Amino acid sequence: MASIIYPGSFDPVTFGHIDIIKRASRNYDLVYVSVLDNNQKTPLFTVEERVKMLQDVTKDFDNVIVESFSGLLIDYAKKKKVHMVLRGLRALTDFEYELHMAQTNSIISGGTLETVFMSTDMEYSYLSSSTVREVARYHGDVSKFVPDSVLKCLNDKFR
């Protein structure tokens, strides 16, 4: 069975992420959407909130599992017995960082962890969680960037 892990911060999940998840769910038997619990970043939403938002927006995909993990991605992947990692590419600015991460994970996993990239839908190539956070913080309209359930969580945060 072809399974893949889509790891990220998802702080919060946007239409760009959802587009990648939708396309992954069509092309893989099982998709783990895995929220990294990274104690070096101070997120807007807790891991539990991010998992809950993702579960809500992916509830119609029956081959998508949302969970969190901490520590190294290669250790998490080993535990899940999955050898493929999915990342999204928006623009050239993503490329260098993503290539660096993919190569690092390949090396530290002894060549067993593969990273595949999906290019963003053109419609979402400008879209990032950080933009959403900044616009929402100052009560700008982010309804074109995130689904209603996430919009509600952002409104609650910045009320």
Contact footprint for ligand ADP (CB under 6 A):
8-10, 14, 16-17, 20, 87-88, 90, 94, 120, 124, 127-129
Question: Which one of 22, 52, 78, 90 is the catalytic residue?
Answer: 90
Of 34 and 109, which CB lies nearer to ligand ADP in the complex structure?
34
3 a catalytic residue: no
| Beta-bridge partner residues of 67 | 34
* Catalytic member of 9, 17, 109, 133: 17
Tokens of 101: 């991460």
**Looking at 41, 81, 144, 159, which residue is catalytic?**
41
Nearer to ligand ADP, 68 or 128 (CB): 128
What are the φ/ψ torsions at residue 33 (nearest 5 degrees)? -95, 115
Q: Cβ 57 to ligand ADP, closest distance in Å?
A: 13
One-letter amino acid identity for 88? G
Contact (CB, 8 A) for 3 and 43: no
Whether 129 is a known active-site residue: answer yes
**Nearest CA among 43, 21, 57 for reference residue 151:** 57
Chain-centroid distance of CA 64 in Å reads 12
106/128 with CB nearer ligand ADP: 128
Q: How far is the CB of 42 from ligand ADP (least distance, A)?
A: 13
Question: Can 90 be counted among the known catalytic residues?
Answer: yes
Q: State the Rg of the chain over Cα.
A: 15
Q: Is 83 a catalytic residue?
A: no
